[in-house]
Amino acid sequence: MPITPATATHSTSKGTTDAILLELVDEKGVTIGTAEKLAAHQPPGQLHRAFSVFLFDEQGRLLLQQRALGKYHSPGVWSNTCCGHPYPGEAPFAAAARRTFEELGVSPSLLGEAGTVRYNHPDPASGLVEQEYNHLFVGMVQAPLVADPEEVGETAFVTAAELTERHTRDPFSAWFMTVLDAARPAIRELTGPSAGW
């Protein structure tokens, strides 16, 4: 039962609630503290650790998700398979696998690191800012999806050509092309040259 909106809290074993905290980092990705999730995204934004996952099927098609309309940030837009923030002290790889299962009901196969990228993307619609040091992961999806409707509006598997067409037509997250471009070398290694990534 994931709770991800920035304004949400989660219950501890003692029945109390804690704010969702993110890891603040310096420009080299070294942890320097924590901040409450919504506060970290208020302008001008605080640089924090994040992750982005790109999963592919056996045909080399990328799994996209449309963010649920109830999301506090970038609702209803299309983006990569899964993205989010590790809890303080949680390894990015573990967070990526955890959130992929929580959002889509699948455990990634052959999940591997694909580097990092640092960006600053304001979201004009919400007024929030993504100041992120993002850990990238690529892998395979080899099981049926069981998406959480509070997180995911729709899903779609797309070829590289279909993504190009869809990207000109549909709204995408502000960070999507940044993380996709940064992950492309690892994506090509995973999917092979014939997939066109």
Which residues are designated catalytic?
Answer: 83, 132
Residue 5 DSSP label: S
Residue 186's contacts (CB-CB under 8 Å, 6 or more residues apart) are 112, 113, 114, 115, 136, 138
Read off the tokens for 196. Answer: 């066109």
Instruction: With beta carbons less than 8 A apart as the criterion, state whether 78 and 63 touch.
Output: no
Strands 48-56, 82-84: pairing kind: antiparallel
Three-class secondary structure of residue 39 per DSSP: helix
Give, for 93, the enclosing helix (H) or strand (E): helix 92-104
182: nearest Cα among 93, 95, 115, 113: 115
Residue indicated by tokens 């929030």: 128
Three-class secondary structure of residue 179 per DSSP: helix
In degrees, rounded to 5, the angle at the alpha carbon of residue 64 between the alpha carbons of residues 60 and 67 is 170
Q: Does the bond joining 44 to the residue before it have cis omega, within 30 degrees of 0? A: yes
